[in-house]
Amino acid sequence: SKTNAALIERKNQAVAAGVGLVHPVFLDSAENATVKDVEGREYIDFAGGIAVLNTGHLHPKVKAAVAEQLEKLSHTCFMVMGYEPYVEVCEKINDLAVGSGPKKTALFTSGAEAVENAVKVARAHTGRTGVIAFGAAYHGRTLATLALNGKVAPYASGMGLMPGDVFRALYPCELHGVTTEDALASVERIFKFDAEPKDIAAIILEPVQGEGGFYVAPKEFMAGLRKLCDQYGIVLIADEVQTGAGRTGTFFAMEQMGVEPDITTFAKSIAGGFPLSGIVGKAEVMDSIAPGGLGGTYGGSPIACAAALGVFQAFEEEKLLERSRKVGETITSELKALAKDYPVIADVRGLGAMIAMEFFTKEGKPDSEMPGKILTKAREKGLILLSCGLYGNVVRILVPLTVPDEQLQKGLKIIRECVSELA
């Protein structure tokens, strides 16, 4: 019978080294918040495939929608011949996205592709090329998104310099000494040091930094960016690839940020485990590119769109936004209690059910070792966790919102045990 060790050995022989593996585990099956490996061992999944499984593994409504679609049509390429599910997803997203006026949507396959297309639209709309992005940001692994990322290793190591016209500002993070004023001043500094505002097409940011460490953008920061964008005719892009689809307690995190973005990117949990991404924004901005300039062979495939419609149905019928807030409160209160008992936890923060804890050494420096130890110990106890952060010193939770309470409690108990054994 198959073992994890044997499959890892085959992976090492067959798969390029650049494709890493956080946990030395090969899965055989999964349901909701439970995953089962090839050796029959079960784990509670607090990683959710990196924020893809807000509705859990193989949600019955997603499965049913996909199964039904599979009997009808798997592919046409939407640029060749249309199909209703694509349009239906766009209509839904136009309703759900933040922004008061008429909106339009385009669908793609991966988050990075959505980000690249958001920048393309901003460039076409403004006739400018520059983009301002932020330290510790993560937007993807394609060339242009690597240029936008605010972290070099491991994403761009050994790959040389990235495509130009990207300028980097500071993301506010009081814990690491960057105030909202500092962050806004760093944007203004770009206008002095690097480029005129009339050459900047877009400012792109995550309303809550994901890979960067689950830092929440303060409302005043968002207001400041919106003001600069309005003043200079710059497109504000909210990258909601990780924050979207209900993770933060509202369908999009921007609902809680007090300002409207011009373009929003989405992916990951939008289709409950199937590859679908997209951009939604103000109709007059979104229509800046002529027919043929947006698309892709698989973008918005019928199967992925059916899955997304299943996800929307699950959110409506199972009140998953409320659930997200509830799950978030449960996690936050447990982790805050834990931080009281163990001062190595320097901070517990997040928005809705997007919660993380950050580890410092006794000397008060980011502790990059601790998350790895916690991930290993937690896995041994049957819980799958993920780390993140510019310094790799953050443990994040992206549990399915559909997780049964009992399982959520069990997972949190394992986290407590791990911290108590390692702190």
Chain residues in the site for ligand PMP (CB under 6 A): 50, 110-112, 115, 138-140, 206, 210-211, 239, 241-242, 267
Helix (H, G, I), strand (E, B) or coil at 248: coil
Q: CA-to-CA distance for 312 and 61, rounded, in angstroms?
A: 9
**Number of neighbouring beta carbons within 10 Å of residue 357:** 29
The distance of closest approach from Cβ of residue 20 to ligand PMP in the complex, given in angstroms and rounded to an integer, is: 13
Phi then psi dihedrals of residue 397, to 5 deg: -120, 125
Length of the chain: 423
The distance of closest approach from Cβ of residue 206 to ligand PMP in the complex, given in angstroms and rounded to an integer, is: 5
The distance of closest approach from Cβ of residue 148 to ligand PMP in the complex, given in angstroms and rounded to an integer, is: 9
- Torsion, CA 246, CA 248, CA 253, CA 258, rounded to 10: 130
Nearer to ligand PMP by Cβ, of 139 and 379: the residue is 139
The distance of closest approach from Cβ of residue 238 to ligand PMP in the complex, given in angstroms and rounded to an integer, is: 10
Nearer to ligand PMP by Cβ, of 107 and 414: the residue is 107
Picking from 111, 192, 187, the residue whose alpha carbon sits closest to that of residue 144 is 111
The distance of closest approach from Cβ of residue 285 to ligand PMP in the complex, given in angstroms and rounded to an integer, is: 19
Question: What is the arrangement of strands in the sheet containing 103-108, beginning at the earlier edge strand?
Answer: 103-108, 277-282, 263-266, 235-239, 200-205, 130-134, 166-169
The distance of closest approach from Cβ of residue 168 to ligand PMP in the complex, given in angstroms and rounded to an integer, is: 16
- Which amino acid type is present at position 90? C
Nearer to ligand PMP by Cβ, of 65 and 276: the residue is 276
The distance of closest approach from Cβ of residue 52 to ligand PMP in the complex, given in angstroms and rounded to an integer, is: 8
Nearer to ligand PMP by Cβ, of 110 and 301: the residue is 110
The distance of closest approach from Cβ of residue 180 to ligand PMP in the complex, given in angstroms and rounded to an integer, is: 20
The distance of closest approach from Cβ of residue 319 to ligand PMP in the complex, given in angstroms and rounded to an integer, is: 25
The distance of closest approach from Cβ of residue 208 to ligand PMP in the complex, given in angstroms and rounded to an integer, is: 9
**Number of neighbouring beta carbons within 10 Å of residue 21:** 11
**Number of neighbouring beta carbons within 10 Å of residue 295:** 18
- Cα separation values, 250 from 98, 120, 256, 293, 322, Å: 10, 27, 8, 32, 8
Nearer to ligand PMP by Cβ, of 138 and 298: the residue is 138
Nearer to ligand PMP by Cβ, of 197 and 210: the residue is 210
Q: What is the torsional sign of CA 268, 272, 273, 277?
A: negative
Closest residue to ligand PMP in the complex (CB): 111
Nearer to ligand PMP by Cβ, of 206 and 334: the residue is 206
Picking from 358, 421, 417, 419, the residue whose alpha carbon sits closest to that of residue 389 is 358
**Number of neighbouring beta carbons within 10 Å of residue 195:** 17
Nearer to ligand PMP by Cβ, of 148 and 414: the residue is 148
Angle between helix axes 219-232 and 180-193 (nearest 10 degrees) is 20
Q: CA-to-CA distance for 281 and 121, rounded, in angstroms?
A: 10
Nearer to ligand PMP by Cβ, of 303 and 412: the residue is 303
Nearer to ligand PMP by Cβ, of 134 and 359: the residue is 134
Picking from 368, 374, 365, the residue whose alpha carbon sits closest to that of residue 390 is 368
End-to-end CA distance of the chain: 38
Q: CA-to-CA distance for 379 and 319, rounded, in angstroms?
A: 30
Nearer to ligand PMP by Cβ, of 62 and 412: the residue is 62
The distance of closest approach from Cβ of residue 137 to ligand PMP in the complex, given in angstroms and rounded to an integer, is: 8
